[in-house]
């Protein structure tokens, strides 16, 4: 990387060596595993090619991942994933029940969730989780990333829904990232 | 490929495929029935999560039994979908919000206005209220 006198990208020259060589070991690992599963063969040549891609892709996209992805607690992450998948199933069944009602009886709502999370990846995961469960879609994030606007399909009690999102999704995410 | 599968496995695979198709139909039906754009965004998630989930589970079971090896490609498909589907839903809702797509009048709460907002006729008054409130907040 050339380092001109006028253009200076702040993080690059000061990054430790391992970070420059392998910026995101976790992402590299995911790419390698995805590559091998996708191709389905475990020949040395294929592992080598996957390894090369796993090294190259995080390097190319390094600018988008300014902070290392750090997961503080794997058991909690697994627990969170199980809860989310379970909630998706439940929410789907609820969505079907809502659909059988007349659309006029639904009580749609916009509501704002004030975020306690600050990690961009944690916020992304939260917004994705909210959208993945049928019935709620995260519609916008405020420019300073402290409020999340959510649209709900049928929200009889707005405050309770906000409390549920905060307790069920945000609290675990705060401990994971 | 054409090996005989145990009856119970066939039953399970068929049930999962039917359930997956059912969720997809429900998603499409919801898309047609809902009165405004924001409500329409919700239902297709049912198709992408449980609909695809059931179909892929059926695929895993079928190919694992007929090829006698564990088939895991399908998990990648669901992983990619779980990452991309919410992003597209989020972007659609966001764009709708920023271009001022109308929502039904009995919607509780109001979205915050964006700088590029072109308020629609019906909701313009409320939105401009929010605009002034938001401006005060940022100052």
Do residues A105 and A169 share a domain?
yes
Residues 6+ apart with CB under 8 A from A157: none
Structure tokens at A125: 């995961």
Task: Give pLDDT tens digits for A116-132.
Answer: 888 888 888 898 888 88
ipTM given for this complex: 0.75
Subunit contact A127:B86, Cβ cutoff 8 A? yes
pLDDT, tens digit, 9 for 90 and up, residues B91-139: 888 888 877 777 877 777 777 665 544 444 445 555 555 555 555 555 4
A81 and A129 fall within a common domain? yes
Q: Half-sphere exposure (CA, 13 Å, Cβ side) for A73? A: 11
The count of domains in chain A is 2
A28's CB contacts (< 8 A; 6+ apart) are: A22, A54, A55, A57, A58
Output DSSP code: residue B42.
T
- Which DSSP state fits A104? G
Residue where a domain stops, chosen among A29, A52, A69? A69
Which residues of chain B does A149 touch, with a Cβ-Cβ cutoff of 8 Å? 97, 111-112
Q: Among residues A69, A94, A128, which one ends one of the domains?
A: A69
Pairing of strands A109-114, A136-141: unpaired
Determine, for residues B82 and A155 on separate chains, whether the beta-carbon distance falls below 8 Å: no
pLDDT (0 to 100) of residue A7: 56
């Amino acid at each position: 990387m050339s380092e001109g006198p006028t253009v200076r990208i702040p993080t690059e020259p000061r990054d430790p060596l391992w970070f420059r060589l392998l910026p995101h070991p976790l992402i590299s690992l995911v790419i390698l595993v995805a590559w091998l599963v996708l191709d389905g063969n475990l020949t040395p040549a294929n592992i080598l090619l996957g390894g090369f891609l796993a090294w190259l892709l995080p390097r190319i996209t390094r600018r988008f991942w300014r902070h290392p992805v750090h997961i503080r607690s794997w058991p909690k992450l697994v627990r969170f994933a199980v809860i989310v998948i379970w909630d998706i199933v439940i929410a789907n069944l609820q969505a079907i029940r809502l659909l059988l009602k007349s659309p006029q009886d639904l009580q749609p709502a916009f509501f704002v969730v004030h975020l306690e999370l600050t990690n961009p990846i944690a916020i992304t995961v939260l917004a994705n989780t909210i959208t993945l469960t049928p019935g709620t879609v995260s519609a916008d994030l405020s420019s300073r990333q402290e409020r999340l606007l959510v649209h709900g399909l049928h929200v009889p009690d707005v405050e309770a829904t906000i409390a549920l999102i905060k307790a069920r999704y945000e609290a675990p995410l705060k401990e994971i990232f | 490929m054409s090996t005989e599968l145990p009856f119970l496995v066939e039953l399970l695979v068929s049930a999962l495929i039917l359930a997956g198709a059912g969720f997809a139909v429900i998603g499409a039906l919801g898309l047609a029935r809902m009165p405004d754009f924001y409500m329409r965004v919700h239902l297709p998630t049912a198709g992408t999560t449980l609909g695809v989930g059931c179909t892929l589970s059926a695929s895993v079971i079928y190919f694992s039994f007929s090829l006698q090896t564990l088939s895991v490609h399908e998990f990648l498909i669901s992983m990619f979908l779980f990452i991309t589907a919410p992003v597209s839903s989020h972007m659609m809702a966001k764009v709708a919000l920023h271009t001022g797509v109308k929502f039904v009048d009995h919607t509780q709460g109001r979205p915050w206005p964006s700088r590029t907002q072109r308020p629609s006729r019906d909701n313009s008054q409320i939105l401009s209220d929010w605009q002034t409130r938001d401006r005060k907040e940022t100052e």
